[in-house]
Amino acid sequence: MNRLKRFITLMLPLLLLGSACNRQIDLSADYKDISFTYAILDVNDSLHYFKIYKGFLTDENAYVQASDWNNIYYPIDSIEVRLEEYNSAHTLLRSQVLDTTTIVPKENGIFASPKQLLYYSDWKLNEDCIYRLVIHHNDSGEESYAETPVVNHFSIRRPTSSWNMNLQQPYAIQFYQSDHAACYDLLLTFAYIEVDTTTGVIEHKSFTRRLNSDLIRTPSAAGIVSYSSFTPHDIFRYIAQYIPVKPNVTRYIDAIDGNPYRCIRLSVWAASQDYLYYQQVSTPSSSIVDNRLEYTNFISSDENAYGLLASRTSTYVDLMINNSQDHSEDTLVLSPTTRALNFGYYRNSPLFPTE
């Protein structure tokens, strides 16, 4: 999602000013209503948010004008936003007019903050259905829309919760292919606590590292996706890289969701084809030519709608530091790689379960 935020921040002012490929900009042209919509549906979510901007015309500083709420959002009564559900035969099953909320804060940036206007749905998504977002302009009657299938639930084949963290050879992470998924990301999270040796104050901390450098999109014929560029023992190197040395704290592994010794979460994210297209188009080019394409899957009669409607979902497995099997906790506490971080044995942690 951070990439999506960066894309919106960087590209929207360019889209408002005109296409980079069109050198004949008519400064006297009439204002044209252009919408920008972004949403990623997730079958695991109970609420689904949709961000809808409008273009604005100004002869003043565009960045200053973009910080004005009224310039970038449609008046609520000027558009109707609908979410529609279709089956595989493209028969409409249900339709919902979306309400708005400002409860989700926006980070500071070019556009108006900390409030932001979001449209939302509380539907439980059906994995076998296609979802269409429709924006109806009440004054003109014009509509724009985009569709996405739902990326289905899937599961991780290996590793299982008990594994050899000290393994120093490449290890193939495998997971079952998700329906309607075109690309995947692998994230590794390590959870730990810090105990201040003076005050005894406990802080829960973690870091997350992306394992793959590029999106994974090569499933096998058997429907299993495999990622082989991972060595379990590298986790100790990540720990030393992301956790700073602090002489006044003692550290212990944390129990994710209260499960003892399970302090590492391997998450796999899957996203739809339109998300992959968006990534491919928006990724900076290595070429010296500066022209950039603009990807959108929104359809409108006057080509005045831009944005992305896509879907994604995730699954995970929590992995153990298992001293009885592979002495991985000894490695964390005693090895030259991580010894300076002052990790103690989990059995001595103030949060170690006593029952």
**Cβ–Cβ < 8 Å for 98, 120:** yes
Q: Which domain holds residue 107?
A: 2-150
Q: Does 294 fall in a domain?
A: no
The pLDDT of residue 179 is 87
Residue at 51 is within a domain:
yes
Quick check: is 211 in a domain? yes
Task: Sort strands 143-149 and 299-300 into parallel, antiparallel or unpaired.
Answer: antiparallel
Q: Are residues 198 and 319 in the same domain?
A: yes
246 bridge partner residues: none
Q: In total, how many domains does the chain have?
A: 2
Same domain, 138 and 189: no
Our CA angle for 95, 97, 101, nearest 5°, is 140
The CATH number linked to 92 is 2.60.40.10
Structure tokens at 304: 């005045």
The residue to which tokens 């929207």 are assigned: 12
Question: Within this chain, do residues 222 and 108 fall inside the same structural domain, yes or no?
Answer: no
Distance between start and end Cα atoms, the chain: 40
**Judgement on whether residues 121 and 184 belong to the same structural domain of the protein:** no
pLDDT in tens, 65-83: 888 888 889 999 999 999 9
Can you give the pLDDT at residue 37? Answer: 95
- Boundary of a domain, candidates 130, 150, 170: 150
Low-confidence residues in the chain, pLDDT < 70: 1-31, 218-221, 284-293, 355
In a domain, 308, yes or no: no
Do both 33 and 126 map to the same domain? yes
| Contact indicator for 83, 190 with CB cutoff of 8 Å | no
Task: Identify whether 296 is part of a domain.
Answer: no
pLDDT for the residue 101: 96
Q: How much is the pLDDT for 302?
A: 83
Is residue 306 a part of any domain in this protein?
no
